[in-house]
């Protein structure tokens, strides 16, 4: 009888989870399609003008890694191709997020949604299996709550991974920018054109900073494909999403537009950027004592108190113990 009740309880929990999963998936798909329809209507009302962001047809893949990773991506893509948004403004925004993370696979969007759906389904099932095999003392309400939380964790886990990957790539590009900028100044002052100088910098920084080298190579490929230099520079600023590169792109566009000396402009920007680096380093050094307060209070001061006051406390305890025994 107990076994029958246990099996029926497991069946009820699995059925409730599947119903909740399908309901959440349907609501998210409805909200996404509604937002896409609203954006299309606004685009039609505004006369068909849109921001110059990169779409799937405008991107150029620099490297594609076949093998096990490619097969896994394709497998996730088959699962997520029904849940991923279509080729619309929302799709372009999602594609831009992948480009900022350094992901240029053509099936990245569908693979991303496939991983969200699989994790959203697998994590609660794993939890329920552990619940009935390991955590048997957990109440039913807590089990249902943990199942919903694990489903939410599985749904948002790819977003967290993508954000961390994007932040790490931005940090690497920021660290590689000073050397690339100095090399660009040297190439331009030596008499090279801007396009040739950017290509040279991309080749020279391939070993030390492959992320920034890929972005510069992609810009060079856009220029070779016939895109205007202004649009290629704007796409570079959008992909990297760095304020420093955005300022550099604005400077290059204005210099090209007004016909001023490119070498002088880059030299001035290089000096100002070096000053900003010094100021950021001084700012971090000034914040360091404040950041060390909590580690000192939590980890260092208790150890010092134990080392300094421990022998005195032991002596006092022994003296009081002897007095009480007498």
Q: State residue 62's pLDDT score.
A: 44
Average pLDDT over residues 141-145: 81
- Residues 6 or more apart from 239 whose CB is under 8 A from it? 54, 96, 99, 100, 215, 218
3-state secondary structure of 260: coil
Q: Which residue has the tokens 């790539």?
A: 169
Express each pLDDT in 101-139 by its tens digit.
888 877 788 788 888 888 888 888 888 888 777 666 677
* Contact criterion met (CB below 8 Å) for 154 and 122: yes
Residues 31, 85, single domain; the answer is yes
In a domain, 299, yes or no: no
Backbone angle region of 63, left / alpha / beta, with phi > 0 → left and psi within -120 to 50 → alpha: beta
3-state secondary structure of 320: helix
**Number of domains, the chain:** 2
Q: Which domain holds residue 179?
A: 171-287
Backbone angle region of 48, left / alpha / beta, with phi > 0 → left and psi within -120 to 50 → alpha: left
Residues 80, 141, single domain; the answer is yes
Query: Bigger pLDDT: 134 or 238?
Result: 238
Residue 90 has pLDDT above 60, yes or no: no
In a domain, 197, yes or no: yes
Residues 214, 76, single domain; the answer is no
Q: How far apart are CA 169 and CA 280, in angstroms?
A: 20
Burial (CB count <10 Å: 0-12, 13-18, 19+), residue 66: exposed
According to DSSP, residue 107 is labeled T
Query: Bigger pLDDT: 214 or 67?
Result: 214
Q: How far apart are CA 279 and CA 182, in angstroms?
A: 18
Residues 157, 190, single domain; the answer is no
Q: Which of 169, 190, 210 is the last residue of a domain?
A: 169
Say what the pTM is.
0.64
Confidence of residue 140 (pLDDT cuts 50, 70, 90): confident
Residues 261, 278, single domain; the answer is yes
Residues 100, 145, single domain; the answer is yes
Residues 179, 275, single domain; the answer is yes
How many other CB atoms are found less than 10 A from the CB of residue 156?
Answer: 13
Residue 144 has pLDDT above 50, yes or no: yes
In a domain, 303, yes or no: no
In a domain, 17, yes or no: yes
Residues 178, 156, single domain; the answer is no
In a domain, 318, yes or no: no
How many other CB atoms are found less than 10 A from the CB of residue 214?
Answer: 20
Residues 138, 98, single domain; the answer is yes
Tokens found for residue 50: 């849109």
């Amino acid at each position: 009888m107990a076994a029958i009740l246990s099996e029926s309880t497991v069946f009820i929990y699995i059925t409730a989870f599947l119903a909740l999963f399908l309901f959440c998936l349907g609501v998210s798909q409805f909200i996404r399609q509604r937002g896409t329809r609203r954006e299309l209507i606004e685009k039609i009302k505004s006369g068909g003008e849109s921001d110059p962001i990169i779409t799937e047809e405008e991107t150029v893949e620099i490297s594609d890694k076949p093998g096990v990773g490619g097969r896994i991506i394709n497998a996730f893509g088959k699962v997520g191709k029904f849940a991923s948004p279509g080729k619309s403004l929302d799709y372009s925004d999602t594609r831009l997020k992948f480009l900022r993370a350094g992901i240029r696979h053509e099936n990245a969007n569908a693979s991303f949604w496939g991983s969200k759906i699989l994790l959203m389904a697998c994590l609660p099932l794993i939890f329920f299996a552990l619940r009935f095999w390991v955590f048997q003392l957990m109440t039913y309400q807590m089990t249902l709550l943990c199942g919903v939380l694990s489903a939410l964790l599985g749904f948002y886990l790819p977003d967290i991974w993508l954000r961390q990957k994007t932040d790490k790539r931005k940090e690497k590009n920021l660290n590689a920018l000073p050397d690339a900028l100095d090399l660009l100044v040297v190439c331009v002052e030596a008499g090279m054109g801007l396009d040739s100088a950017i290509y040279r910098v991309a080749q020279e920084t391939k070993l030390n900073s492959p992320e920034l080298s890929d972005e510069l190579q992609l810009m060079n490929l856009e220029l070779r494909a016939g895109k205007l230099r202004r649009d290629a520079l704007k796409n570079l600023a959008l992909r990297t999403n760095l304020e420093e590169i955005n300022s550099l792109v604005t400077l290059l566009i204005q210099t090209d537009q007004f016909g001023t000396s490119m070498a002088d402009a880059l030299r001035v920007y290089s000096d100002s950027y070096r000053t900003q680096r010094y100021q950021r380093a001084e700012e971090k050094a000034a914040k360091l004592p404040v950041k060390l307060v909590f580690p000192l209070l939590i980890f260092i001061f208790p150890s010092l108190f134990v080392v300094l006051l421990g022998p005195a406390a032991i002596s006092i305890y022994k003296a009081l113990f002897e007095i009480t025994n007498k």
